[in-house]
């Protein structure tokens, strides 16, 4: 493929790709994950946004130094072939685990709310099939799907109305009633709600206007941050501190506050609709993982995506107890923090080895 054809992502594609990969089940459980801070959690999403913006910068910078290459290739260039490939294998394994975590978490949620009388095996298979169908369409299809999913999902903000009506604004204050330990704990547990923007390192070569990519990605990040912020504020207004800590998917229950004469439990509709948001996130990760496998094996193969999907299915269906699986998934999410900080390390290496690498 010529470099000209490679570049397919326009401005809107980048914005919504960044925005929608960040929205997953994390958003639904954000208030609970931040509950260590109690009512003072309101400003946390804003801090997350600032951190995300700061960490986005090295990602875009390192990618703009190697315009035609994604992170997998940059790893190989900067760390040497074998070490780079080694790191890439870890990233692909980690992504496999992460996608399994995303899908498994969501399917558990579905099982507990919408389909209590069914096992999840067939539904998981169905979701994975749909996932491969999306990924086979390429990054542009994923980006278009992100845009569409955003347009369809944004009216759900309206359902927060009742939360605001029934809530109490005075809950928000005081803003800074927490210790530094609590702050870091909330940080550690809550930051995963906005993970996903780091994938820009993998689809950066496909962006048409790479010079403005940072700006566009930032717009995407702040759209998500404002959504998380709104939901956090409304949750704080609506719930008691005890509820914040113990209600698992508190945002879902906010939807329930609504009263219509023709339909009850809109939350079930909301949660089933959420599958499209889950699929955008999972599809972007799966696409990146496939690129990783392509790069590790140094050749393109359409079966790579099926291979990874099968691995994901295997991980979800692993015959281990639920606690261990959950630990595994949590670990995969914490590893993602390393992936976010990884480009800073790469930037340092790049500065040291710049001349060596360029001369290659």
List all residues 6 or more positions away from 101 whose beta carbon is below 8 Å from its beta carbon. 328, 329, 330, 332, 333
| Closer by beta carbon to other proteins, 24 or else 31 | 24
**Interface with other proteins, residue 155, by CB under 8 A:** no
Contact call for residue 141 and other proteins (CB under 8 A):
yes
Q: Which is nearer to other proteins, 12 or 61 (CB)?
A: 12
Does 98 bind other proteins (CB under 8 A)? Our answer is no
Q: Name the residue nearer to other proteins (CB basis): 117 or 323.
A: 117
CB of 41 closer than 8 Å to CB of 186:
yes
Two tokens, residue 21: 């990969």
Which residues, numbered 102-121, are part of the site for other proteins (CB under 8 A)? 110, 114-115, 117-118
With CB under 8 A as the contact rule, the residue among 265, 310, 311, 335 that binds other proteins is 265
Q: How far is CA 104 from the centre of its chain?
A: 14
The nearest distance, CB 167 to other proteins, in angstroms, is 24
> Candidates 229-237, 274-282, 306-314, 327-335 — which segment interacts with other proteins by CB under 8 A?
274-282
Specify the stretch interacting with other proteins by CB under 8 A; choose among 54-62, 141-149, 227-235, 325-333.
Answer: 141-149
Residue closer to other proteins by CB (options 134, 244) is 134
Stretch that binds other proteins, among 19-27, 65-73, 254-262, 309-317 (CB under 8 A): 254-262
CB of 131 to other proteins, least distance (A): 10
Q: What are phi and psi of 207, to 5 degrees?
A: -80, 135
Is residue 209 at the binding interface for other proteins, with CB under 8 A as the rule?
no
**Angle of helix 81-113 versus helix 275-296 axis, rounded to 10:** 160
Count of residues in contact with other proteins, rule CB under 8 A: 38
Interface stretch with other proteins, choices 31-39, 123-131, 156-164, 199-207 (CB under 8 A): 123-131
Find the Cα–Cα–Cα–Cα dihedral 120, 121, 125, 126, rounded to 10°. -40
* Cβ–Cβ < 8 Å for 251, 49: no
Q: Minimum distance from CB of 268 to other proteins (Å)?
A: 5
Tell me if 118 sits within 8 A of 129, measured CB to CB: no
Question: Are the C-beta atoms of 31 and 171 separated by less than 8 Å?
Answer: no
Distance CA 232, CA 228 (A): 6
- In the list 68, 81, 112, 133, the residue contacting other proteins (rule: CB under 8 A) is 133
Nearer to other proteins, 186 or 277 (CB): 277
Within 10 angstroms of residue 284's Cβ, the number of other Cβ atoms is 28
Per-residue burial over 31-56, b if 16 or more Cβ lie within 10 Å, else e, is bbbbbbbbbbbbebbeebbeebbebb
Q: Which residues of 313-340 are buried (b: 16+ CB within 10 A; e: fewer)?
A: bebbeeeeeeeebeebbeebbebbbebb
Can residue 309 be called a binding residue for other proteins (CB under 8 A)?
no
Rounded-to-integer distance, Cα 187 and Cα 194, Å: 11
Binding residue for other proteins, selected from 6, 164, 269, 317, defined by CB under 8 A: 269
275 binds other proteins (CB under 8 A): yes
**Beta carbon nearer to other proteins, 145 or 191:** 145
Whole-number Å distance between alpha carbons of 326 and 22: 21
Q: Write out the residues near other proteins by the rule CB under 8 A.
A: 10, 12-13, 110, 114-115, 117-118, 122-123, 126-127, 130, 133-134, 137, 141, 144-145, 147-149, 151-152, 260-266, 268-269, 272-273, 275-276, 279
């Amino acid at each position: 493929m010529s470099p000209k054809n490679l570049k397919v992502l326009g401005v809107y594609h980048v914005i919504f790709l960044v925005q929608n990969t960040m929205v997953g089940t994390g958003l639904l459980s954000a208030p609970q994950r931040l509950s260590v801070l109690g009512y003072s959690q309101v400003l946390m999403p804003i801090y997350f946004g600032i951190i995300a913006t700061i960490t986005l910068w090295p990602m875009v910078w390192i990618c703009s130094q190697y315009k035609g290459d994604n992170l997998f290739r940059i790893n190989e260039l900067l760390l040497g072939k074998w070490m780079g490939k080694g790191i890439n294998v870890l990233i692909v394994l980690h992504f496999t685990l992460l996608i399994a975590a995303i899908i498994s978490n969501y399917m558990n949620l579905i099982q507990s709310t919408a389909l209590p009388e069914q096992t999840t095996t067939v539904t998981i298979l169905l979701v994975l099939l749909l996932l491969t169908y999306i990924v086979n369409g390429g990054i542009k299809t994923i980006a278009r799907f992100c845009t569409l999913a955003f347009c369809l999902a944004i009216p759900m903000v309206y359902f927060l109305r009742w939360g605001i009506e029934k809530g109490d604004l005075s809950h928000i204050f005081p803003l800074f009633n927490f210790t530094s330990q609590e702050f870091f704990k909330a940080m550690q547990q809550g930051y995963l709600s906005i993970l996903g923007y780091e994938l820009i390192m993998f689809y950066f070569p496909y962006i048409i206007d790479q010079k403005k990519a940072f700006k566009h990605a930032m717009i995407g990040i702040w759209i998500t941050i404002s959504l998380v912020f709104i939901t956090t504020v409304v949750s704080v207004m609506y719930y008691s501190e005890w509820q914040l800590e113990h209600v698992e998917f508190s945002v879902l229950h906010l939807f329930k506050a609504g009263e219509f004469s023709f339909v009850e439990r809109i939350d079930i509709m909301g949660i089933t609709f959420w599958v499209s948001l889950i699929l955008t996130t999972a599809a972007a990760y799966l696409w990146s993982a496939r690129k990783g496998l392509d790069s590790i094996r140094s050749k393109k193969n359409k079966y790579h995506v099926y291979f990874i999907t099968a691995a994901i299915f295997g991980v979800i269906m692993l015959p281990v107890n639920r606690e261990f699986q959950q630990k595994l998934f949590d670990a995969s999410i914490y590893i993602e923090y390393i992936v976010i900080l990884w480009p800073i390390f790469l930037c340092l290496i790049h500065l040291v080895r710049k001349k060596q690498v360029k001369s290659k």
